[in-house]
Amino acid sequence: MASGKLLRQLIKTGSEGNLSAFREASEQVIRDERDKKHHLLANDLEKILYGHSSNTSPEFSVLNEHLPKDLEKNLPLVQVRNPVRRLEDVVLSGVNTALLDDLFEEYHRIEVLKSHGLRPPDRLLFCGPPGCGKTATAEVVASELGLPLIIVRIDSVVSSYLGETASNLRQVFDFAASFPTVTLFDEFDAIAKERADASDHGELKRVVNAFLQMLDDYEGKSLLIGATNHDGILDSAIWRRFDEVLVFKMPNLSQIRRLLSVKLRGLRRDFDVEDKNIIELFQGMSHADIERVIRRAAKSMILAGKEFLTERLLKTAIQREDARRARQKRA
């Protein structure tokens, strides 16, 4: 919270109708909140004061007009998303939280860095098993920076005629360089893993090399994120091209507890999320699995006309999740 002195100044200047002094005091509050790393609050305050956040986010209509398209099929190579997920909606490890805090601070104070000839990281790699928050965190990064999220559809980039693939990639990189966005190369290994495969088609290898070259040469307005769940496949040549690597893991017990309180927000229940027995029910599941179990249990509760979510409903939903996973393993 802002200091008492600042609050007095804010209310005094506001009630006196002294607009310039009020603005100055408000800007000081925003700076204070940013210094305390309360970026979401600072962004909200900035929006209230100026009607927008200090990031100049491109209009969706402008982005849609310039979307890169597959020349052969005339289909868009990327999806544009308005990010809604916020930092408090995801459960992250301490290391990842610290990395993101630093990243946000560098972007929010980008002008200071630039004046010293420095720039924030603009190439991140997200690794980890499915359902542990890679895509969700990319959305959080975009919303925190007040930028649209662009998801590169690797399947459409790669599966078109091979000769076209490099030119599709070129278009995607040019688009990312021209407009300030967070651009996610989701399942990035669809391009990257081919490099390790000796029986590889020669042209595909050239495409991978072209991709790495584009990543090397990239200097643009967007923050690029590569996401993969096969980190073992990625060779060191790929790792070193990213400024920061965030590793996502299956949740531990304390992360499960935090996840339960996030996902059960607003649901009436007859158990305590701090209860160790409840937390342990979810051990070994990914964040996405846990979310699915809770959604399933909540639906059963509603359809059965019950008022409270119970441990029993959770257990039934977990049994169905286990059966689902067993089927998945056999398939």
Ligand X SMILES: Nc1ncnc2c1ncn2[C@@H]1O[C@H](COP(=O)(O)OP(=O)(O)OP(=O)(O)O)[C@@H](O)[C@H]1O
Q: Least distance in Å: CB of 130 to Mg ion?
A: 7
Asked if 25 is part of the footprint of ligand X (rule: CB under 6 A), the reply reads: no
* Rounded Cα distance, 194 and 207, in Å: 9
Nearer to ligand X, 134 or 269 (CB): 134
Query: How far apart, in Å, are the Cα atoms of 67 and each of 4, 63, 141, 173, 256?
Result: 49, 6, 21, 11, 39
From Mg ion, ligand X, none, interface partner of 9 (C-beta below 5 to 8 A by class): none
Nearer to Mg ion, 31 or 295 (CB): 295
Cα 146 to chain centroid, rounded:
12
Tell me the β-bridge partners of 223: 182
What are the tokens at 29? 């509050």
Q: Least distance in Å: CB of 126 to ligand X?
A: 7
From Mg ion, ligand X, none, interface partner of 269 (C-beta below 5 to 8 A by class): none
Positions that interact with Mg ion (CB under 5 A): 134-135
Q: Least distance in Å: CB of 115 to ligand X?
A: 35
Helices (H), the chain: 4-16, 19-35, 39-50, 60-65, 94-108, 110-115, 134-145, 154-159, 162-178, 189-192, 202-217, 236-239, 253-263, 276-281, 287-303, 311-330
Q: Least distance in Å: CB of 229 to ligand X?
A: 4
Q: Least distance in Å: CB of 192 to ligand X?
A: 14
Footprint of ligand X on 102-141 (CB under 6 A): 130-136
Q: Least distance in Å: CB of 135 to ligand X?
A: 3
Q: Least distance in Å: CB of 131 to Mg ion?
A: 8
What are the tokens at 33? 């909140």
Nearer to ligand X, 83 or 220 (CB): 83
Nearer to ligand X, 30 or 152 (CB): 152
Do 46 and 26 form a contact (C-beta atoms < 8 A)?
no
Nearer to ligand X, 166 or 238 (CB): 238
Asked if 184 is part of the footprint of ligand X (rule: CB under 6 A), the reply reads: no
Tell me the β-bridge partners of 227: 126
Q: How many residues bind ligand X (CB under 6 A)?
A: 16
Nearer to ligand X, 76 or 129 (CB): 129
Q: Please, is 170 exposed, middle or buried when counting C-beta atoms within 10 Å of its C-beta (0-12, 13-18, 19+)?
A: middle
* Rounded Cα distance, 103 and 126, in Å: 14
Q: Least distance in Å: CB of 293 to ligand X?
A: 11
* Rounded Cα distance, 141 and 126, in Å: 12
Asked if 90 is part of the footprint of ligand X (rule: CB under 6 A), the reply reads: yes
Asked if 229 is part of the footprint of ligand X (rule: CB under 6 A), the reply reads: yes
Nearer to ligand X, 164 or 187 (CB): 187
From Mg ion, ligand X, none, interface partner of 131 (C-beta below 5 to 8 A by class): ligand X
* Rounded Cα distance, 62 and 179, in Å: 9
* Rounded Cα distance, 177 and 322, in Å: 44
Asked if 83 is part of the footprint of ligand X (rule: CB under 6 A), the reply reads: no
Q: Which of 91, 166, 224, 234 touches ligand X (CB under 6 A)? A: 91
* Rounded Cα distance, 229 and 134, in Å: 9
Nearer to ligand X, 37 or 292 (CB): 292
* Rounded Cα distance, 207 and 313, in Å: 50
Place of tokens 């290898």: 205
List residues binding ligand X (CB under 6 A): 90-92, 130-136, 229, 248, 259, 287-288, 291
